């Protein structure tokens, strides 16, 4: 019996580390360095669009979390104004839009290839399974657009 425990010590250690990581992800409070979630419209976006390039700068759905990152910050680094909802964002200008309740919001957006953008505001995740799912979804979004090719 003792021999088999020693034999699988590494497997037990890995399993314990995984269990501790899942417990932390489910219980630790969410944290963000800033409540702003920044999206920048880079210089040359309008020119590339006019040349026929399907420029994807902004995601079709932006997800914000109340109490963690609940302010959408759009920065227009392009040389032409950009429309976001009823607001005209001039070149070099930032636009901050805070959200205070759970909601699903549609905005007209000239910086988006479809001309529309959805801002989904979700509730602060409760400890436990809800927080674990929230963290896993955030991790999935982080790797979603990442290319693993060198």
- Show pLDDT as tens, one digit a residue, over the chain (150 residues): 555 666 677 777 777 777 777 666 665 666 666 789 899 999 998 888 888 888 788 888 898 988 888 899 999 999 999 999 999 999 999 999 999 999 999 999 888 878 899 999 988 887 777 777 777 777 776 666 544 443
What is the predicted pLDDT for the residue at 100? 92
CB 120 within 8 A of CB 13: no
Q: Which helix (H) or strand (E) holds 7?
A: helix 2-7
What is the predicted pLDDT for the residue at 56? 81
What is the predicted pLDDT for the residue at 144? 65
CB 48 within 8 A of CB 78: no
What is the predicted pLDDT for the residue at 27? 58
What is the predicted pLDDT for the residue at 96? 95
Angle at CA of residue 133, ends 113 and 138, nearest 5°: 40
Three-state DSSP at 32 gives coil
């Amino acid at each position: 019996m003792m021999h088999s425990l020693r034999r699988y010590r590494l497997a037990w250690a890995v399993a314990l580390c995984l269990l501790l990581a899942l417990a932390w992800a489910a219980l630790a409070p969410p944290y963000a360095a800033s409540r702003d979630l920044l999206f920048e419209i880079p210089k040359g976006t309008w020119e590339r669009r006019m040349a026929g390039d399907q420029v994807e700068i902004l995601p079709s759905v932006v997800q914000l979390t109340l109490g963690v990152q609940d302010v959408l910050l759009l920065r227009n680094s392009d040389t032409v104004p950009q429309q976001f909802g009823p607001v005209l964002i001039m070149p070099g200008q930032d636009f901050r839009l805070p959200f205070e309740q759970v909601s699903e919001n549609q905005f007209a957006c000239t910086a988006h290839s479809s001309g529309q953008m959805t801002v989904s505001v979700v509730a602060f995740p409760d400890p436990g399974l809800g927080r674990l799912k929230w963290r896993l979804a955030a991790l999935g979004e982080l790797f979603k657009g990442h290319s693993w090719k060198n």
